[in-house]
Amino acid sequence: MAHLAYFDESGDAGLVNSPTQYFVLACVLVPEADWLASLDALVALRAGLRTKYAIRTRPEIKSTDIRRGRGPLLGLRLSPATRMRLFRGLMIYQARKLPSLRAFAVAIRKASCAARGREPRETAWQFALQRVDRFCRSANSRALLFPDEGHGPFIKRLTRRFRRFQNIPGAFGGNLSIPLRRVLEDPNDRESHDSYFIQLADWNAYAAHRSKYVAPVPGVPDDIWDGLAGYRLLDVNAVRGGPPGIVCWP
């Protein structure tokens, strides 16, 4: 058995003149046996959005487009309240129509991370890869990685390094040597406009970022992340605790 792990980010990883305090990385885990049925459900979702909101089926819908009424929403005259209902509906749809998938996010407070001598982006990816590896060990599965385009070389270096050597602080002190063993091959970049699953990760990353658990902003309901309900992978912070399905650090 294998899982396909799709990733996208919200916020930037920079520390100078950055508009965001957090860098957020979201992952959607798709069982390979359910991949085609899940794709069919996403195709049906886009057909429903065309019927209900007149949103064309082919263009990518970015989370920031929903907030600002841009991209394929431009010219549709959807009110901010309507766009937020649309966003909430995308979360609920995942929970109801994609029950075998799992989602989680990692939220890194950049300044605090840097103060501890760590780079925010690498830290987020390391934490995410650890969770994917642990999930696959529990599920007796393997994972193939599909990040948004442009991140492949960076993630390839990380995965190759962590397959050989990775020390993880133990929950009760000390360090544990737990190299990645369940992540197969190098990452396979996907352009987000060509992958409905990357678009799921984009929506989820933004929903986690602007949730009450991380960094809410005016105009975006802070409980949209909660629409994912049982779709969220709660085990990602089972030991240390935290928001449901979100690893917040430091």
Checking if the pLDDT of 150 tops 90, the result is no
DSSP letters, the chain, are: -EEEEEEEEES----SS-S-SEEEEEEEEEEGGGHHHHHHHHHHHHHHHHHHH---SSS---HHHHHHT-GGGTTS---HHHHHHHHHHHHHHHHHH-TT-EEEEEEEEHHHHHHTT--HHHHHHHHHHHHHHHHHHHHT-EEEEEEBTT-HHHHHHHHHHHHH--EEE-TTSSEEE----SB-SS---B-GGG-HHHHHHHHHHHHHHTSTTS---TTS-TTGGGGGGGGB-GGGGTTT--STTEEEE-
In this predicted structure, what is the pLDDT of residue 151? 78
Distance separating alpha carbons of residues 55 and 193, to the nearest angstrom = 15
Task: Give the pLDDT band (50/70/90) at residue 168.
Answer: low
Instruction: Read off the pLDDT of residues 91-128 as tens digits, 9 standing for 90 and up.
Output: 999 999 999 999 999 999 999 999 999 999 999 999 99
Instruction: Read off the pLDDT of residues 16-65 as tens digits, 9 standing for 90 and up.
Output: 889 999 999 999 999 999 999 999 999 999 999 999 999 999 999 999 99
In this predicted structure, what is the pLDDT of residue 174? 47
Instruction: Read off the pLDDT of residues 193-246 as tens digits, 9 standing for 90 and up.
Output: 999 999 999 999 999 999 999 999 999 999 999 999 999 999 999 888 899 999
